[in-house]
């Protein structure tokens, strides 16, 4: 008989280490905070050492616990792969993807039907995030963020770049008909709409266009870009929009790009896979699909 640690406690420990939170581990596993704490305590007693230490209001895994969790996660990955090989191949796999709101609404969700058509055994569920780092605490199999793929930018994740992005000026067809933009200097007659989540968009585009910054220029700034995009579509002003994320809006005639050649390159999107995630064949297929869609 192998002298194994308590397997249920191992399962709870792996989720707690991956999410970095007892509360989130409880949510993912359907357990109370107290039940998670008891399972961790049982595993600590079996091992004879602490796995988590309190830092402020959170319980944080020790360096040894993080290394142990990575090994446990790999073991679970092998068990999952073996179960998929020996088990029921027709079982539907659910993948949880967390993405920025505008990206999810304008680029990812409209394309998911193509993924599902090619992979009917996989169901992708999408949750949205309006912040960059605060939501990277578990509850997903894959996260999508704007950023570089450098290891130091995402130390706990494998980052796979899949889509490049560039900004250009956008305007609603109705507003363009009332106040056309013949040259970049004509932006002086419009209200500039900006977003707190995309600071510097207007400054960079004006510099690229060779248009001087005017302190008296009328501006409105919203907290998130999807609000700014709606304001542009409603004709309340002009904005700076990312492409190819907004390509569908352009093709549907909801927005126009008066100066399509005036584009400012931006940091693209990366798919973030936790190092201790269950890297199932379904997850690999989804990442490969994202890379292919980004090149299309």
| pLDDT one-digit tens code per residue, 194-233 | 999 899 999 999 999 999 988 889 999 999 999 999 999 9
Enumerate the H helices of 139-239 as residue ranges.
Answer: 173-178, 201-209, 225-233
Residue 158 to residues 71, 137, 198, 246, Cα–Cα distance (Å): 16, 15, 25, 27
φ, ψ for residue 155, nearest 5 deg: -65, -20
The per-residue pLDDT for 85 is: 66
7-86: CATH number = 1.10.10.10
The per-residue pLDDT for 209 is: 96
Q: Is 40 helix (H, G, I), strand (E, B) or coil?
A: helix
> In this predicted model, what pLDDT tens digit does every residue of 267-279 receive, in sequence order?
999 999 887 666 7
Divide the 296 residues of the chain into consecutive groups of 10 and give the mean pLDDT of each group.
Answer: 81 90 86 91 92 86 90 84 65 85 94 94 85 54 90 86 97 97 96 94 96 91 94 97 96 97 95 80 93 93
Enumerate the H helices of 48-190 as residue ranges.
Answer: 63-86, 101-103, 109-118, 173-178
User: Per-domain residue ranges for the chain?
Assistant: 7-86, 93-164+268-295, 166-264
The per-residue pLDDT for 258 is: 97
The per-residue pLDDT for 132 is: 44
> ∠ CA(190), CA(195), CA(201), 5° rounding?
70
The per-residue pLDDT for 230 is: 96
The per-residue pLDDT for 138 is: 54
Report whether CATH 3.40.190.10 matches the domain 93-164+268-295.
Answer: yes
Burial of 65 (0-12, 13-18, 19+ CB in 10 A): buried
The per-residue pLDDT for 188 is: 94
Following CA atoms 121, 72, 274, 21 in sequence, which dihedral angle do they give, to the nearest 10 degrees?
A: 110
φ, ψ for residue 192, nearest 5 deg: -90, 120
Residue 107 contacts by C-beta under 8 Å, 6 or more apart in sequence? 163, 244, 245, 248
166-264: same fold as 93-164+268-295? yes
> Do the Cβ atoms of 182 and 268 come closer than 8 Å?
no
Beta strands in 171-263 (DSSP E): 192-195, 219-222, 239-243
Question: Which residue carries 């993080």 as its tokens?
Answer: 66
Q: Which fold has domain 166-264?
A: D-Maltodextrin-Binding Protein; domain 2 (3.40.190)
φ, ψ for residue 162, nearest 5 deg: -140, -10
């Amino acid at each position: 008989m192998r002298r194994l640690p308590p397997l249920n406690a191992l399962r709870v420990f792996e989720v707690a280490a991956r999410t970095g939170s007892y509360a989130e581990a409880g949510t993912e596993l359907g357990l109370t905070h107290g039940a998670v704490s008891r399972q961790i305590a049982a595993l600590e007693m079996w091992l004879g050492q602490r796995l988590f230490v309190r830092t402020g209001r959170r319980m944080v895994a020790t360096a040894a616990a993080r290394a142990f969790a990575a090994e446990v996660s790999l073991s679970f990955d092998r068990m999952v792969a073996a179960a998929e090989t020996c088990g029921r191949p027709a079982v539907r796999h659910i993948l949880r993807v967390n993405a920025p709101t505008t990206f999810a609404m304008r680029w990812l969700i409209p394309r998911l039907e193509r993924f599902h058509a090619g992979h009917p055994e996989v169901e992708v569920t999408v949750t949205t995030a309006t912040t960059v780092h605060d939501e990277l605490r578990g509850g997903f199999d894959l996260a999508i963020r704007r950023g570089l793929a450098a290891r130091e930018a995402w130390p706990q994740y494998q980052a796979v770049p899949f889509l490049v992005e560039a900004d250009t000026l956008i305007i609603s067809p109705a507003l363009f008909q009332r106040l056309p933009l013949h040259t970049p200097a004509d932006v002086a007659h419009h209200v500039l709409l900006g977003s707190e989540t995309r600071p510097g968009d207007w400054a960079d585009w004006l510099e690229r266009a060779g248009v001087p910054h005017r302190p008296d220029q009328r501006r409105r700034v919203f907290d998130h870009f999807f609000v700014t995009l709606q304001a542009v579509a409603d004709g309340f002003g002009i904005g700076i929009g990312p492409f190819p994320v907004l390509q569908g809006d352009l093709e549907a005639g909801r927005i126009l790009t008066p100066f399509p050649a005036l584009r400012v390159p931006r940091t693209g999107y990366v798919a973030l896979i936790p190092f201790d995630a269950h890297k199932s064949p379904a997850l690999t297929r989804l990442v490969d699909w994202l890379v292919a869609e980004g090149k299309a």
